[in-house]
C-alpha cells in the first residue's frame, strides 16, 4: 500500500487544482459583471456567504465522517485476518493492502472529496442562509401552528435543507464505515450464519440512531410544509 501513497497524493492535488480553476472561471465572470454594474458590495456579500457556508458544512462533514471512519478502521483492525474467508472472497486480495499509513491517506482523500461536494452543495443555498440570518416579520400568523408567515419564508427552507444535508452525511458515513468493517472481516456470512463483532455492531447501531434522529426531524419539519 505504500506504493500507492504518492499516486494518491498527486491525484488529489490535480483534482483540487482543477476544482479551484473551475471556481475561478465561474466567479471571475460574475465579478466582472457585478463590478461593471456598480454592485461590488452585493457580490462581496454573496461570495462571503458562500465561503462561510462552504467552510462550515465542509468542516462538519470532515469531523463527523472522519471520526467515525477513524474509529471503524481501528476497531476493525482487531478482527482483521481473524475470520476465515472463502477462496473466492475478494477480501483475500484486499486485506493485504488494507494496512499501513497509506490507508489513512486513502480515506483522507475520500473524505475530503465528499466534504468538498457537501460544502459546495451547502454554498448553493447562500440566499436561504442570508434570509435566515436577516428575517422579517409579516405580522400575519397562520391558524394551524400560530407561526408568523415570515417563518415559512426565512426559516423553514433552511431547516429543511439542514435536515436533508444531515441525512445525506449520515448515509455516506454509514456506507464508508460499513465498507471498512467489511474489508476488516468484522462481519461475515458463513455456514448459513451471520457473524459480526460486538464493536462493529455497536458502532453501526450508533450510526443508525443518528439516521433515525434525522428521519424524526424530517417528519417533524414536514408538518409545517403540508398544504
Q: Assign 3-class secondary structure to 69-93.
A: HHHHHHHHCCCCCCCCCCCCCCHHH
Mean pLDDT of 144-163: 88
* Neighbour count for residue 57 (Cβ, 10 Å): 23
First CA to last CA distance, the chain: 55
pLDDT tens profile 81-134: 565 555 556 565 666 666 667 677 788 888 988 998 999 899 999 899 999 998
**How much is the pLDDT for 200?**
86
Domain boundaries, the chain: 2-225
pTM, whole model, 2 decimals?
0.80
- Looking at per-residue pLDDT, the higher value among 38 and 213 belongs to 213
Task: For 120-146, write each residue's pLDDT tens digit.
Answer: 899 999 899 999 998 888 778 877 777
Beta bridge partners of 190: 193
Question: 197 or 216: which carries more pLDDT confidence?
Answer: 216
Q: Backbone phi, then psi, for 135, in 5-degree steps?
A: -80, 165
| Cell numbers 417528519: residue | 219
pLDDT of residue 150: 83
> What is the structure's pLDDT at 151?
86
Selection from 9-18, 97-106, 200-209, 216-225 with the highest mean pLDDT: 200-209
What is the average pLDDT value for the chain, to the nearest integer? 80
Spatial neighbors of 190 by CB under 8 A, at least 6 apart, are 83, 84, 86
pLDDT at 28: 60
Amino acid at each position: 500500500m505504500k506504493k500507492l501513497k504518492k499516486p494518491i497524493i498527486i491525484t488529489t492535488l490535480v483534482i483540487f487544482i482543477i476544482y479551484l480553476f473551475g471556481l475561478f472561471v465561474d466567479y471571475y465572470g460574475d465579478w466582472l459583471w457585478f463590478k461593471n454594474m456598480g454592485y461590488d458590495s452585493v457580490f462581496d456579500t454573496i461570495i462571503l456567504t458562500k465561503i462561510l457556508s462552504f467552510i462550515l458544512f465542509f468542516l462538519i462533514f470532515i469531523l463527523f465522517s472522519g471520526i467515525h471512519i477513524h474509529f471503524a478502521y481501528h476497531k476493525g483492525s482487531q478482527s482483521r485476518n481473524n475470520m476465515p474467508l472463502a477462496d473466492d472472497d475478494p477480501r483475500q486480495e484486499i486485506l493485504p493492502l488494507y494496512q499501513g499509513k497509506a490507508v489513512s491517506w486513502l480515506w483522507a482523500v475520500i473524505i475530503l472529496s465528499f466534504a468538498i461536494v457537501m460544502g459546495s452543495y451547502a454554498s448553493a443555498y447562500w440566499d436561504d442562509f442570508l434570509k435566515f440570518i436577516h428575517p422579517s416579520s409579516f405580522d400575519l400568523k397562520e391558524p394551524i401552528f400560530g407561526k408568523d408567515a415570515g417563518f415559512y419564508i426565512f426559516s423553514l427552507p433552511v431547516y429543511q435543507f439542514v435536515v436533508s444535508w444531515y441525512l445525506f452525511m449520515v448515509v455516506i458515513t454509514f456506507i464508508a464505515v460499513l465498507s471498512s468493517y467489511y474489508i476488516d472481516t468484522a462481519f461475515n456470512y458463513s455456514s448459513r450464519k451471520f457473524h459480526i463483532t460486538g464493536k462493529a455492531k455497536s458502532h453501526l447501531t450508533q450510526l443508525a440512531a443518528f439516521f433515525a434522529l434525522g428521519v424524526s426531524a424530517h417528519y417533524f419539519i414536514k408538518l409545517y410544509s403540508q398544504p
